[in-house]
Amino acid sequence: MDRTNLHRIWKAILIGIILVVAMACYFVPVLLVTIGLLLLLLLCARFAYQGRDRYIPNLYARDIRVYDDDYRTFIVRTLSDLRKRRIHGHTLLWETSRLATPCHPDSDELLLDLGVWIGWSTRLISDICGRTVYGFDTFSGLVEDWRVDDQTVIKRGTFSLSEPFAQRFLRDTGVTLHEGLPAALGRPVQFVRGSTYDTLAPFLAARPDASIRLFHMDLDTYESCLHALETCKDRFIEGSILVFDEYLVTNGEMRAFYEFQRKYELEWRYRAWGLEIWEMNIEMVTAPWKRVAYYIVAIALYWLLGDGRYAWACFSRRFWRFWLSAPLGDIFFMLGAAGQRKSVSLEITGLGKLERIRRGDQRSD
Ligand SMILES: C[S@@+](CC[C@H](N)C(=O)[O-])C[C@H]1O[C@@H](n2cnc3c(N)ncnc32)[C@H](O)[C@@H]1O
């Protein structure tokens, strides 16, 4: 189900580039010597550089020494743990394909997709596991400004379905709107419109016995993420899978989960680190020639203007942080995809204080 053609095409381009450089080295040996010297220089500089563990892969934007000791330790541990759990595909699809049967056959387990945009993440979850999925969105964009570490601020209202870009994607992927909601397109999905600050609690109250099996967080901002975790906390169970689409942003979803798990002394373990789900929208473009055009534009935009710039824009700090401080495994992992690898999943293995709070509640009933 992991239809990552975008990345297959990028890998083919990479192999093409390597072959062209190898041929050029064969015919112009001085090129081989130059490349060899540059690599040697880089290796020496990496050896001398002391900045290991201060930057997280894919961003290299914020020096984590700005945080207190506890959070910094959490980030460092997170990265060493995640490196053992790299996957090449999309974390959400990977997790969903492992969800096929409910934990308990007659259970009322919820699969929640928080932040759906034109709805493909929700439909894809349902396609893979064949179950009902609930998608939440304002459909009028972010409800607060989103500062991505020390980089750009993405303004409140971004990702509204009225934006020309969204309108184009709706058309090209065959999604129609009905009273402002994206169509289910034959899948058992239900979209809930409104800010999760208003919709999530009543939605759960209407399903008092339902636990959350899959919690896909793609609301992007720290505030919305923390609010959703707090609102859903009584419905998490051992075995709940939480997928965070933008986890490797240290002032966003990671920070929210860090505070949440600490407050309730949750037990949990990381499961996967892979690609974000957004780009699967391109795989859903219906006309093949348009899809190919989207692949090419997406690859070019990512490497020329998007986050991929940090790999070659030598006048930026991120370039030096990446090439000097990223572990070699991370460098190959990052270069191997034309897209963001910030998506991380984890499993709740023990409820900590949440269990005690629930027992206390039952006793007082
Ligand atoms: C990055 S987009 C989601 C992309 C989608 N998961 C996909 O793969 O195509 C983030 C979405 O979250 C929505 N959003 C952000 N904060 C929200 C909130 N508090 N309540 C409801 N929707 C919110 C935005 O409207 C936006 O559509």
The three-point CA angle 359-364-365 to 5° equals 95
Q: What is the pLDDT of residue 171?
A: 97
Answer yes or no: is the C-beta of 143 below 6 A from any ligand 1 atom: yes
Q: What is the pLDDT of residue 108?
A: 81
Regions in the chain scoring below 50 on pLDDT: 1
> Are 326 and 43 spatial neighbours (Cβ–Cβ below 8 Å)?
no
Phi and psi, residue 155, nearest 5°: -75, 150
Q: What is the pLDDT of residue 105?
A: 56
CA of 117 to the centre of ligand 1 (A): 5
Q: What is the pLDDT of residue 107?
A: 65
Q: Which residue has the tokens 């999309």?
A: 90
Answer yes or no: is the C-beta of 302 below 6 A from any ligand 1 atom: no
Q: What is the pLDDT of residue 103?
A: 55
d(CA 98, CA 243): 13
The domains found in the chain, sorted by start residue, are 71-298+340-364 (3.40.50.150)
Looking at ligand 1, which atom is closest to the CA of residue 141? 25
Q: What is the pLDDT of residue 52?
A: 83
Q: What is the pLDDT of residue 50?
A: 83
> Are 102 and 210 spatial neighbours (Cβ–Cβ below 8 Å)?
no
Q: What is the pLDDT of residue 102?
A: 67
CA of 142 to the centre of ligand 1 (A): 6
Nearest CA-CA partner of 133 in 111, 157, 108: 111
Answer yes or no: is the C-beta of 158 below 6 A from any ligand 1 atom: no
Q: What is the pLDDT of residue 1?
A: 45
pLDDT digits (tens, 9 = 90+) for 153-177: 999 999 999 999 999 999 999 999 9
d(CA 207, CA 203): 7
